[in-house]
Amino acid sequence: MSKSTDSTNQSPSHSSGQPVIEVRGLENRFGNHVVHESLDLDLLDGEILGIVGGSGTGKSVLLRSIVGLKRPNAGKINVLGNDLNQLSSKERSQVERRFGVLFQQGALFSSLSLQENVALPIIEHAKLPREDAEYLARVKLSLVGLEPEAALQYPESLSGGMIKRAALARALALDPDILFLDEPTAGLDPIGAAAFDQLLVTLRNALGFSVFLVTHDLDTLYAACDRVAVLSQKRVLVTDTIQNVARTDDEWVQNYFNGPRGRAANKTAHSNDRQLRSE
């Protein structure tokens, strides 16, 4: 995986350069409305890949197609060496157990405590006794930076940042190889969003999973992503480091990455990089 010298979040050695997801010729339609057509995309082993695009480009639809929540109208999706369309239901379920998914609003069960929310997939898929599953759930909650007393709290009593961290803990419950995140910093204040970005990079570096990250947050793209893929005109327009993507001769790309917010995010990333280098 190529990395520019001014990237701030990791060294290239975290990725083997081998794809863990290969999407080829993907087509998604809703009635006569074509969302994706002849879409190709790779997620490399160990990288954090940011997916961006204008409204209606199908960022979340692409994520849902890969994780199996929407069956594409055409094309091939190969995940962890498996052609998902060729697998039986049982085989597909085994592959999907290697995914962790964090949906935009967290999607925690409001009637369950955080400990119970995280323990649920462990009980259902790993078949562990409840006591063991809840112990592991507390470990996962600690891993994402939540205090021990948070384990017995319910989602309605939590801040947005705590909900996102708890949802991340649940996504990590089964030690996934690939983490799918849909707008994980949406609704968070800048401090909370920055803390989540740093947590994500730290966990990826420590645990070695790959990340498919749908976002519109420019700060997240600069702080956490190794590469960025831009969806446009029903396809992937470009996939590269953020510095190279920002040079792409496309009106939306230029307005997005080189407008006032893009310039501010870039300046913040460089400032943080200089601070890290001086420590």
Residue 2 pLDDT = 37
**Above pLDDT 90, what percent of the chain?**
74
**Other Cβ atoms closer than 10 A to 226:** 25
Cα 223 from Cα 205, distance rounded (Å) = 14
**Above pLDDT 70, what percent of the chain?**
91
CB 44 within 8 Å of CB 17: yes
Residue 10 pLDDT = 42
Query: Which domains does the chain possess?
Result: 15-240 (3.40.50.300)
Cα 129 from Cα 110, distance rounded (Å) = 22
**Would strands 99-102 and 82-83 be described as parallel, antiparallel, or unpaired?**
unpaired
pTM for the predicted model, two decimal places: 0.89
- Identify the H or E element spanning 252: helix 251-258
- Model confidence at 65, in pLDDT bands (50, 70, 90)? very high
Residue 138 pLDDT = 97
The torsion of the CA quartet 231, 237, 241, 246, rounded to 10 degrees, works out to: -90
Per DSSP, the residues of 157-188 read: GS-HHHHHHHHHHHHTTT--SEEEEESTTTT-
- Identify the H or E element spanning 204: helix 190-207
Looking at per-residue pLDDT, the higher value among 122 and 269 belongs to 122
Instruction: State the average pLDDT over residues 91-97.
Output: 87
- Model confidence at 16, in pLDDT bands (50, 70, 90)? low
- Model confidence at 12, in pLDDT bands (50, 70, 90)? very low
